[in-house]
Chains A and B, each alone.
Chain A
Amino acid sequence: MEHVERLVMFVVLLVVQMLILNHICLLQVAMPLLYVYFAITFRRGTPMWMILLWNFALGLMLDMISNTPGLAAGCMTLIGFIQPYLLEPLVPRDSAENLKTSAATLGLSKFVTLSAILVSIYCLVFFALESFSFFNWQLWLLRAAGSTLITLVLIFAVESIRSK
């Protein structure tokens, strides 16, 4: 069941990113990268290898779509690796071993913390690698910050719809 849910989410995020979000770039800096949501919401206790492979696969697919081989795959793998370590101190005491990661189970503030950290790491690394050859740190920060913001807004929107 868990895998089916993952797969559905995988496909939906991929299609949404491909057909809608990839065409959006607010003020030429902010790109909505909603697919990071996929990496945030792995359950507590999911085997690390599984998280890494899922994230790598989604990243690779996104790379195929947007012609950036290795870029999203690398970044997704990175935050997939960080997510369990970050999640552990945030889960409430005495909670289940396979606790779902959502605003409802963690509490809103902790979910926001988790998402904000992961998304900002993702955006910083993503835009650093993307602009590798002509590095302009002001533009880099601006793009990372803008994209983090718009991505977080989208993630909370999706999360609030899903929790109902």
Chain B
Amino acid sequence: MRNLLDFLKKYHHWFLFLLLEVTSGVLLFQYNSYHGSVWLSSANAVVGKIYEWESEALSFFTMSKANEELATRNFYLERQVDQLRRLYAEATADTTEMQRRELEFLSQYQLIPAKVVDNSLNKMENLMTIDKGRVDGVEVDMGVACGNGVVGVVYLVGDHYSVVIPVLNATSSRISCTIRGRGYFGYLHWYGGDPTIAYVEDVPRHAKFKLGEWVVTSGFSSIFPSGVLVGKIEQAYNSSDGLSYKLKVQLSTDFSCVRDVVVISDKSIAERAAMMQAARDSMNVRQR
């Protein structure tokens, strides 16, 4: 008995070693069938939680990319909804025709995703800088929109950055817009102060509309395609000369946190603008 105890004492580390190795072996060969191994694997609550934190942290770094894609996607979808709404109103029974026109409508745009790198709200003439420029295909007078609605118009273009005149520029911003589904149009104007409120001017007196209806871009300006969201009508006033309405609009774009935008490049718009210019020139010649 004494000898046995001595023996155990002398070689106890051998026994411990063998015990642990046998335990490992059992785990290795038994649990690798995956069943019943829940508490010994990453399905275990603690390890799972830590991995969840890790993936959350990692997703934070990939978020800006996702935002950018979402802004572009959102813009596309909104265009599509607008197009469908219009087509539905026209109620053509021919569905293949509808599909064809929808594709045609969407394919004429080229969207350039951009990030706002500088922005102001508190001045009368606010300007915004975006991180895309001539190299990326941005040109002067292109429209800028975000997922929630209209943002502004490109004013200056550098090689890699551009300056945008946002709606919130009291002296220079005039965007042609219309009441959705009604067709009357006017010009969007901002008077400073509250960055969420702007006014649509020159809406004709005979126009019919309801408060709470949406104002969208008209597509008459040579900058934005039709149907880009502007805001919701909050109140209607008479204009100072009494010849038209002035609509108070709650802007759909939150300028205080706009970050991902798209620059809208539309070949047909440029062509229309050139056409318009040519017409003006010829009229000027005739007047002289």
Contacts and interface: CB of A to CB of B under 8 A. Distances in A.
Interface residues of B, number: 23
A78 B23 CA distance: 12
Contact of A73 (B16, B24, B32, B42): B24
A48 interface: yes
B63 interface: no
Contacts of A48: 12-13, 16-17
Interface in A38-96: 48-49, 52-53, 56, 59-60, 63-71, 73-74, 77-78, 81
A129 B32 CA distance: 12
B21 A69 contact: no
Nearest to A82: B17
Interface residues of A, number: 24
Contacts of A81: 13, 17
A77 B32 CA distance: 19
Interface in B135-183: none
B100 to A, nearest CB: 48
A77 B31 contact: no
A70 B31 contact: yes
Contact of B50 (A18, A60, A66, A69): A18
B16 A49 contact: yes
A61 to B, nearest CB: 9
A146 to B, nearest CB: 23
Nearest to B15: A49
Given A59-B24, A77-B24, A69 B42 contact: no
B13 A64 contact: no
Contacts of A52: 13, 16-17, 20
Contacts of A18: 50
A67 B16 CA distance: 24
A19 interface: yes
6 contacts: A48-B12, A48-B17, A70-B29, A74-B21, A74-B25, A81-B13
Interface of B: 12-13, 16-17, 20-21, 23-29, 31-32, 37, 40-42, 44, 47, 50, 54
